[in-house]
A and B are shown apart, each in its own frame.
Chain A
Amino acid sequence: NAGVTQTPKFRVLKTGQSMTLLCAQDMNHEYMYWYRQDPGMGLRLIHYSVGEGTTAKGEVPDGYNVSRLKKQNFLLGLESAAPSQTSVYFCASSYHLDYNTEAFFGQGTRLTVV
């Protein structure tokens, strides 16, 4: 029962470097999300996708790009990392709205930008 899997779990980047976080889900969920978690601020939505080939901006999209080429995968890219992007990143997935279900989360990726 893999659920939602994030790769990598930890990463340290230098300012200006790029990287891609991978999220994979095996529950055939239509919806996928990327959140970032910062102390005292809960989780804030970066980007989300309502289906294969579609993406949309969330609350804090600047500095990030995403792609959903396959239904089971949702990629989060940082083209030029900045120290302000130091955070814990969570991917989540859920069924279509009509199912009224909760979102399932990955284990998180701790990213440090120095």
Chain B
Amino acid sequence: AQKVTQAQTEISVVEKEDVTLDCVYETRDTTYYLFWYKQPPSGELVFLIRRNSFDEQNEISGRYSWNFQKSTSSFNFTITASQVVDSAVYFCALRRAAGNKLTFGGGTRVLVKP
């Protein structure tokens, strides 16, 4: 069975601070895919990033960066120089290669104060 854990339920920061969201996953598969989604107050789910299990290269995309470590089954996500518009709930998700169902973590609410 797969499981995704986001231990942080809520994070509050002041604008321009960096925010790191933790995600730990469990799977027996050797090939899988990890995702981060953002859910702003308007309610829709917005895709942010995707990472394949066979590619541990960490990248930066604008103010977003992620740290994927298979050895610790973690897929952490960082927002650099946070802005008020970053206030949202962020979900980490896992998908098996053999199948196409997403398993979500419980979400982390980020509040960025001006």
Contacts and interface: CB of A to CB of B under 8 A. Distances in A.
Interface of A: 31, 33, 35, 40-45, 48, 50, 58, 88, 90, 92, 94, 96-97, 100-108
B43 A43 contact: no
B12 interface: no
Interface in B89-104: 91, 97, 99-104
A81 to B, nearest CB: 21
B47 A48 contact: no
A40 B9 contact: yes
A103 B37 CA distance: 10
B44 A107 contact: yes
Given A58-B101, A94-B100, A102-B35, A43 B91 contact: yes
A32 B63 CA distance: 31
B44 to A, nearest CB: 5
A36 to B, nearest CB: 11
16 contacts: A33-B102, A40-B106, A42-B104, A42-B105, A42-B107, A48-B101, A50-B100, A92-B45, A92-B102, A100-B52, A103-B47, A103-B102, A104-B47, A105-B37, A108-B43, A108-B44
